[in-house]
Amino acid sequence: MSNLPHEPEFEQAYQELASTLENSTLFQKHPEYKTALKVASIPERVIQFRVVWENDKGELQVNRGFRVQYNSALGPYKGGLRFHPSVNLSILKFLGFEQIFKNALTGISMGGGKGGADFDPKGKSDSEIRRFCVSFMRELSRHIGADTDVPAGDIGVGGREVGYMFGTYRAVRNRWEGVLTGKGGAWGGSLIRPEATGFGLVYYVQHMIQYASGGKESFKGKRVAISGSGNVAQYAALKVIELGGTVVSLSDSKGALIATDAAGFTPEIIDQIANIKLNRQALTEFSDPKYQYIEGARPWTHVGKVDVALPSATQNEVSGEEAKALIDAGCKFIAEGSNMGCTQEAIDAFEDHRRAVKDQAIWYAPGKAANAGGVAVSGLEMAQNSQRLVWTAEEVDDRLKQIMKNCFENCLETAKEYVSPAEGEFPSLVAGANIAGFSKVAAAMREMGDWY
């Protein structure tokens, strides 16, 4: 609408979903769902507030805080908090919109939301971060609760920040409840939560590989390019190595780190990188002759022949040209560890190749399905908090594996039903994820009278 501000990230996410639904048979079978899309595309509530805090010099600072409570048809709003200078309503609306359908695909009772602030934690002291978190949560605490809205971490928000915010919520509201996920293990956190997104991503792709090969192949022997170097990338890399694959790249916002040795990255090297990132330093701090750092680059055009690509850094990190480079490099599987990691041009290139080359093509999985493991284990953390129980790492990991298996099969079968693939063609997982997630939310909204 002409009276609304331009929101490019949100508009991209909306158009990607809408075009998928329109190009399927969903609206033919359920024409009333067009109305559901109009309703679901508008958040139930958008909260914006100022965050006033004091730096170590005693100077007053102010930032903008946000929470987009997008859809609660399937459960309490659920989605992360992002602290980054790029944060604005367009980015948070895109993330919250995606979160609705991602959460639906987990099978756990969670709605969708997202929040954060345009605060940059880089270069800040622990005391400054604590003071910011306290001020931020004093306002946000009015709008969240274990049965209302349960935020988690995201970019710039890790265990330290969650701890500061949980402590503030507990003091302000005089309640101990599972209001945040990603908590410390000694005070309500779940085992496997830090690993969950990366592990779940690899579990999802494992099912893609097994389906495409008729059960004959796995990650064993595969060359895997990964972007990012945070939790998602680190744990995806470790799981790939555990399953017999070779990780050939990682990256950060300043450049890409490429393995020049056939052995690729080792768990020991990944541990070194994790420590660098824990200290909020760039990959330029890492030095080893077996790894080449390329400043200002992303990995995709520098890794040579690869079998699997896992973008795990941020949105729009694979362009149309880079998508074609991955196809030319023989990549057979690409799945987003980040949210909306591929541009629309990249997705179009992957989907065109899937249709043209059939079962020899690259096969693309969107983030709302492939990286759902993180929020799935957040949902499991909520369940443990409600029961005042702690499950073992093995229990949580087994549940995560089952959730990712169910998610893959749901996307696969839904794609077959609503976007019939041609002979020898892989089903469209992006179509399957979009239709399966949207249909579940739309049906729940209708039964509650949100639209009719």
Give the residue numbers marked as catalytic: 114
Instruction: For 97-122, give one letter per residue: b (16+ CB within 10 A) or e.
Output: bbbbbbbbbbbbebbbbbbbbbbebe
Which pair of structure tokens corresponds to residue 416? 């077959």
Beta bridge pairs of residue 47: 67
Indicate the helix (H) or strand (E) that contains 375. helix 373-387
The Cα 388–Cα 380 span in angstroms is 12
Residues annotated in a binding site for NAD(+): 197, 231
> What is the dihedral sign for C-alpha 65, 71, 76, 80?
negative
DSSP assignment of 342-369 equals B-HHHHHHHHHHHHHHGGGS-EEE-HHH
Q: Which residues are annotated as a binding site?
A: 78, 99, 102, 153, 197, 231, 378
Q: Where are the beta strands (DSSP E) in 45-175?
A: 45-54, 60-71, 77-83, 112-117, 149-152
Strand partners, 80: 152
- The C-alpha angle with vertex 421 and arms to 420 and 422, in degrees rounded to 5, equals 120
The CB density around residue 15, as the number of other CB atoms within 10 Å, is: 11
138: tokens are 């004093």
Summarize the annotated binding site for substrate as residue ranges: 78, 99, 102, 153, 378
